[in-house]
Structure 1
Amino acid sequence: MSFAGLALVLAAAFCHATWNVFVKRIAGGAELIWLFSILSVLIYLPMAVWIVVVQQPVFGPWQIGFMLGTVALHLGYFILLQTGYRKGDLSLVYPTARATGPLLSTTFAVLVLGEVVTFQMALGAGIIIFAVLMLTGGIKPGARHLSASLVFGLGAGVFIASYTVWDAYAVSVLLVPPLLMDYASNLGRVVVLAPVAYRRRALMRQHWVQHRLGVVVIAVFSPLAYILVLYALTFTPVAYVAPAREVSVVLAVLAGSILLHEGNLKERLGWASIALVGMILLTLG
């Protein structure tokens, strides 16, 4: 893995952990997602226009189709994950999704994009995935709604893998600018979640009054985190990027212990260290 690719993924992980800390603090739902998504659309609009005018990217049927596809895949992931949280066990759905996502992403990259994975890369990715699984709670046999939780978690993991490989092809082969790829996803969320936001407008105003700075931080860092990943995917194989970006989960969990006083810092540092070993193996593979 090149130094530039690693730097982009690590910067993306920092951005991802930052906006997730603020999301946890605000503890909102779909109305919060609509609020920061509409702000993201407005904040990144000048850059999106600049790319269209100055770079003049190609917008043929394939490019447009893939941009619409990423909207559908990201929305499908969000809807399935939220449904899983309601009908399953959060402590089981989330770790299952985060662990299976990069594993399936790498598998899809080999099968669909023809990427090659060495033993050292596979070992490093496996260590990272296992450490993230344990950091996010691990598989609990006694969890409520075990079957439903696993189904929704695996389904969310399939969506993660699908949009990762889909977006990688769009930005690396079809040459869709990464910022425009993410911009389409944000715009799609604004349109689809508008009815929910309207029904919850009072709660949305409350979020804005009480957590204005946090909402703005999320609106800036949430797209930036994925845009950096997409730029890395323009010259770095998915087999490297997908497991490496799980470092964002490690940082978010550690931030939860330190900044939000969620506890278990010593245990979480131990699993974070194991994830770091996996990262070293992966990047040197």
Structure 2
Amino acid sequence: MSALSLCLVIAAAVCHASWNFCIKRINGGPELIWLFSALSVLIYGPVAVWVLLDTHTALTLLAWAFVIGSAALHLAYLVLLQTGYRKGDLSLVYPVARATGPILSSAFAVLLLGEHITPQMGGGAAIIIFGVFMLTGGIKAGATRTGTSLGFGLGSGLLIGSYTAWDAYTVAALAVPPVLLEITSNIGRTALLAPIANQRKDLVRQHWQTHKLAVITIAVLNPLAYILVLYAMRIAPVTYVAPIRELSVLLTVLAGSLILGEGHLRWRLTWAAVIFGGITLLASA
């Protein structure tokens, strides 16, 4: 894996962990997602237009179809994950989704994009995925609604794998600018959540008045994190990028222990070391 692509993925992980930390501090709901998504459209919309004009990019009908398809996949993931959080157990839905996502991303990349996996790559990816699964809680014996939770977790992981491979083809093979691909998803998310935001307009106003700086931070870093990943997938195989991207989960969980006082620091540091070992093995392949 090249140093540039590795740096892009690490920078994306830092951005991802940072905006997730801000969301935890605000503790909002769908109305918060609408607020920062709408703000992201205002911030990155002109950038997307400038990129299209500056690069003289003329997208084909097929490219636009893939852009719209990407937005649909991301929206489906958001809806399914939020439904899973309501009807299942967060402690099961989240780790299963984060563990199966990179597995399926890599599988789709091999089957559909013609990428190859060496034993060292497979070993490094497996260590990262298992470490993330354990770091986020794994399957707990006392959990309720296990079947429902596993179903939503696997479904969410399937969508993660699908949109990762889909987006990799879109930006690499069809030459769609990553910023355009990401802003389209934000537009779709804003439209989908608009009715909820309208019902909760008082909460939207409260989030903005009380946490303005944090909301702006999320609006900037949320798209930037994925834009950096998309640029990385332009120059590196998905089989490298997808597992190493899970570094963001590690940083988010550690921030919860160190800054938000969520506890379990020793457990989390142990699995953090395992994940770093997997990243080192994969990056050196």
TM-score range, shorter chain: over 0.9
Quote the Cα distance in structure 2 between the aligned partners of 1:199 and 1:227. 31
Quote the Cα distance in structure 2 between the aligned partners of 1:79 and 1:47. 27
- TM-score where L is the length of structure 1: 0.99
Aligned to 1:95: 95
Aligned to 1:262: 262
- Residue identity over aligned pairs, in percent, reads 60
Quote the Cα distance in structure 2 between the aligned partners of 1:210 and 1:145. 36
Which letter maps to 1:268? R
Aligned to 2:23: 23
Matches within 5 A, 1:95-244: 95-244=95-244
Deviation at 1:45, TM superposition (A): 2.0
Quote the Cα distance in structure 2 between the aligned partners of 1:104 and 1:155. 11
Quote the Cα distance in structure 1 between the aligned partners of 2:141 and 2:104. 23
- TM-score where L is the length of structure 2: 0.99
SS of the aligned residue for 1:234 comes to helix
Moved more, 201-210 or 148-157: 201-210
Quote the Cα distance in structure 2 between the aligned partners of 1:28 and 1:222. 15
Quote the Cα distance in structure 1 between the aligned partners of 2:9 and 2:186. 20
Which letter maps to 2:8? L
Quote the Cα distance in structure 1 between the aligned partners of 2:141 and 2:69. 36
- In the comparison of the two structures, how many residue pairs are matched? 285
Q: Deviations over 1:240-283 (max 9, x none)?
A: 00000000000000011111111111221111011000001101
Deviation at 1:27, TM superposition (A): 1.1
What are structure 2's unaligned runs of at least 5 residues?
Answer: none
SS of the aligned residue for 1:176 comes to coil
Quote the Cα distance in structure 2 between the aligned partners of 1:82 and 1:249. 18
RMSD of aligned alpha carbons: 0.7
Aligned to 2:85: 85
Quote the Cα distance in structure 2 between the aligned partners of 1:146 and 1:279. 30
> Where do 4+ consecutive residues of structure 1 move more than 6 Å?
none
SS of the aligned residue for 2:235 comes to coil
Paired residues of 1:58 and 1:176 also in contact (CA < 8 A): no
